[in-house]
Amino acid sequence: MNGPEHLPTETHKPFTSYLWGALAVLTCPCHLPILAIVLAGTTAGAFIGEHWGIAALTLTGLFVLSVTRLLRAFRGQS
């Protein structure tokens, strides 16, 4: 019934889904100490060093948003 002639030759996921996935990896709250080390000496690093709670809440919100958008993009919903 589903022979090879009925299957698409190439299936591409949207490029935006990969960008959402990269954002999800970067904003994962477990990466907060790594971000603090990498951004040390910058304004963002100073902010993270002084305000761990705000940074963790912000990263958690961005992480949830990006994972939600990633799942929607891979499922083909808009």
Q: Map the chain to HEC letters.
A: CCCHHHCCCCCCCCHHHHHHHHHHHHCCHHHHHHHHHHCCCCHHHHHHHHCHHHHHHHHHHHHHHHHHHHHHHHHCCC
The whole-number pLDDT of residue 22 equals: 92
Please give the residue that has the higher pLDDT: either 34 or 4.
Answer: 34
In a domain, 45, yes or no: yes
pTM: 0.71
Alpha-carbon Rg for the chain in angstroms: 18
* Structural domains of the chain, count: 1
In this prediction, residue 35 has a pLDDT band, given cuts at 50, 70 and 90, of: confident
The whole-number pLDDT of residue 48 equals: 87
Cβ atoms of residues 20 and 73 within 8 Å: yes
Structural domain including 33 reads 14-75
